Every structure is written in structure tokens, then in C-alpha cells.
Amino acid sequence: MIIAIIPARGGSKRIPGKNTKNFLGKPIISYSIEAAIRSGLFDEVMVSTDSKDIANTAREYGASIPFLRSEKNSDDFATTVDVLIEVINEYEKQDKVFEYICCIYPTAPLVTIEKLCTAYSLLKQYDADALVPVIPFSYPPLRGIVIENDLLKMKWPENTMIRSQDLEIMYHDSGQFYFIRTNSCLSEKTLFCKRTIPMVLSELEVQDIDNDSDWAMAEMKYKLLTNQR
């Protein structure tokens, strides 16, 4: 049994109404819901939210809302893992147990059916505890510069004369989705379990959305990836 959990708290401050804001004609959360449902991977696709408006929108696109998120896990300090554990515990009260969790963020319109299916296949192939989609940093962090006393300084001076292409490639979380073995999530209480494997994505496939410029960039990337005009 596999569950897709889409954590969508209300009250976004940087982009008001972010989780249901119109993204190229549909609420942005609908893209995550529809990718999960159409993938055919999941026995349950649910949205964890404290907002009745988000819940209503999610139901319109086929997601399950068996309960609203608790007040404790609806503040600014609750982590994604806190939300996942709460959901799993609530389902266990209904005698529903899931072997795997796929946490899909509600503002990840670049998530596709193919990505989800590939991720699950890799997770099973390597018998891993978790899979995290990652992307290489566009510029090597090891060549990072900091400001100290109004002056520029290399964070790691030993890398000053090393060519950027010779430095170790570093990656960051794509911020789209996570596949996790439920038992590992419950025991380790993290999205990055001890045996976590990567799925490397390209820069075109990923866009963090924290402001209006990010939103416009995500729409541009979506159009490029789907050949829309």
C-alpha cells in the first residue's frame, strides 16, 4: 500500500493564497494531485491541510481529505515530517497501513507522472529507505564568497585557485517530492533517511516558488516542458 500526501497549509505570507493560486488556468495544487492520481501508483492520494478552502479545492480535483490537520502542526514551526507522521498515525486509527509514503509539495507543477513512476521504480530497485530528487548547484558552493567587516572573503580560501569544474559536484533538494519507506520515516523522523538514494533532475525541471518572479519562471518552464505557447 502506498499513500501520496500533499501537505498544504493555509496562510501563505510571501504569496497570499499560494496553494490554490491560479497557475496557467488551474489552481497550482491541482497539478500535484492530478500527477499523483494519474500515475496509478497510489492507493490513497490525500491533502493534509488546515484550510477548508484548500480542502474544497483539493476535493474538486480528486484528492481525499479524511481529516483536517491539527492546530499543532499548522503553525510556522511544524516540519514536513511532523505532518507526515500525523497523517500516518491518523490512518492507523482507521486500520489503514501504508508501506510507502510519497510526499508531494502542493506548489510543484513540474512534477510529472513519469518522475513519480521512475522514482518509485528506483526506490524498489535499490531497496532504499528513501529517494530524494536533487539538482546540481548552478555555481559551485565551494567557491562561495562571504562579507566580513564590509569586505569580500572566500568562505573556503583553499579553493581560490582551483577551477570550478575541478571541484566536487554538490546538489540541493529539488523541493518537489520525496518517496520514503513508512517505517523509516517513523523511526528516523527525517526525509533524508540513512539509506536515501538520489534522482538527479535538470535545472529546467525544477523551480522553487517563493515570490512572484519564481512563479513567472515556473510558468515559463512548464510551457517549455509541455510545448505550450
Which of 70-79, 92-101, 143-152 comes out lowest in average pLDDT? 70-79
If you average pLDDT over residues 177-194, what whole number do you get? Answer: 97
Rounded mean pLDDT, 148-158 = 96
- Domains defined along the chain, listed by start: 2-226 (3.90.550.10)
Average pLDDT over residues 47-59: 96
Please tell me the pTM assigned to this model.
0.94
Beta bridge partners of 121: none
The span from the CA of 81 to the CA of 98, in Å, is 16
Question: Band of the pLDDT at 75, cuts 50, 70, 90?
Answer: confident
* pLDDT for 14: 82
Is residue 87's pLDDT more than 80? yes
Helix (H, G, I), strand (E, B), or coil: what is residue 165? helix
The mean-pLDDT minimum among 35-39, 69-73, 105-109 falls in: 69-73
Q: What percent of the chain has pLDDT over 90?
A: 92
CA–CA separation, 127 and 2 (whole Å): 15
| Residue 76 pLDDT | 83
Which grid cell sits at 34?
A: 492530478
Residue 229 has a pLDDT of 56
Average pLDDT in the chain: 95
Q: Decide if pLDDT at 88 tops 90.
A: yes
DSSP secondary structure of 41-96: --SEEEEE-S-HHHHHHHHHTT-B-SSPPPSGGGSTT--HHHHHHHHHHHHHHTT-
Q: Determine how many CB atoms are found less than 10 A away from the CB of residue 130.
A: 22
Q: Is 150 left (phi over 0), alpha (psi -120 to 50) or beta?
A: left
The predicted pLDDT at position 65 comes to 97
Q: What is the pLDDT at residue 13?
A: 77
Give, as one character, the DSSP assignment of residue 162: S
Mean pLDDT, residues 34-45: 98
Whether 164 has a pLDDT exceeding 90, the answer reads no
Confidence grade of residue 196 (pLDDT, cut at 50, 70, 90): very high
